[in-house]
Amino acid sequence: MNLDSVRDDSKLMVYVISDSIGETGELIAKASVKQFDTKDFAIKRYPYTNSVEQVKPLLEEAAAQKRALVVYTNVDMETRAYIKRKEKELNLAMVDVMGPPMEKLETLLGYEPMRQPGLIRRLDENYFKKVESIEFAVQYDDGKDPRGVVKADIVLVGVSRTSKTPLSMYLANKLYKVANVPLVPEVPVPKEVYEKDKRRLFGLIANSEKLYTIREERLRALGLNSSAKYANVDRIKEEVDYSVQIMKDIGCTIIDVSNKAIEETAEIINDYMISRF
């Protein structure tokens, strides 16, 4: 059969109806139309169309067109039932984007879907928040810029090798913006730390023996002499005593990380943050 002889030259109207922003439906519509040799089409997207009252005039408008396709991604049961009923009543060409995949998944998983609009959008937003939090942790790592203390959700303070950096990155994956500040007796603590909301300040301490072992291994890995001041037991005790005094002065929550995994410390901080805000 020669398709050219039966081609309809009237404009194709594609209605994308969604209870979220409609990106998925529009993408599918565009990808499908591009498979046909036509430029005479228009795609109209109707985001946040959640109810029967909102859908009704759009379906009637589509039915009045000579050539129209309705692509919908709605998940609400009442709205979906109405659209399906109107598909037959108005003799509309329709594509149900979400229905078939959800039905198959319901069969495979054995329970009903949540039917909440915009869940994928929320996941995308969380992804970008996570990236932003990780970039923040890198930018304001190790006291590079005291301005980070002001902007941070959480500020970690402690002597070297108390896991400030890895803990900052772990908390960033939980969407917290974290700045960390090293405590060194010879270096003044930034005034921003003293001005920070005490509920957001966490001091990390560890026993001297644990720090000595970690620092010695660190020096060995760098090919440096283990007799350096950095791994001197007396020096480490001095740093720990100094850090505890600073932590008391700024009024932060003190956590002993001597025998804690990063995940465990992060969970403690997360619990504090949830209870405080």
Annotated binding-site ranges for ADP: 158-165
Q: And the tokens for 54?
A: 């909102």
CB of 183 within 8 A of CB of 155?
Answer: no
Angle at CA 187, nearest 5°, toward 185 and 191?
A: 115
Residues composing the chain: 277
Least Cα distance to 209 among 243, 259, 166, 266 occurs for: 259
Q: Which residues are annotated as a binding site?
A: 158-165
Least Cα distance to 177 among 147, 203, 198, 206 occurs for: 147
Q: And the tokens for 206?
A: 């560890």
- Greatest distance between any 2 Cα atoms in the chain: 93
H helices within the chain, ranges in order? 23-33, 52-63, 77-89, 99-109, 119-139, 147-151, 164-172, 191-195, 208-222, 233-250, 262-276
The number of CA neighbours under 13 Å toward the Cβ of 245 is 9
Burial-class residue 263 by CB neighbours within 10 Å (0-12, 13-18, 19+). Answer: exposed
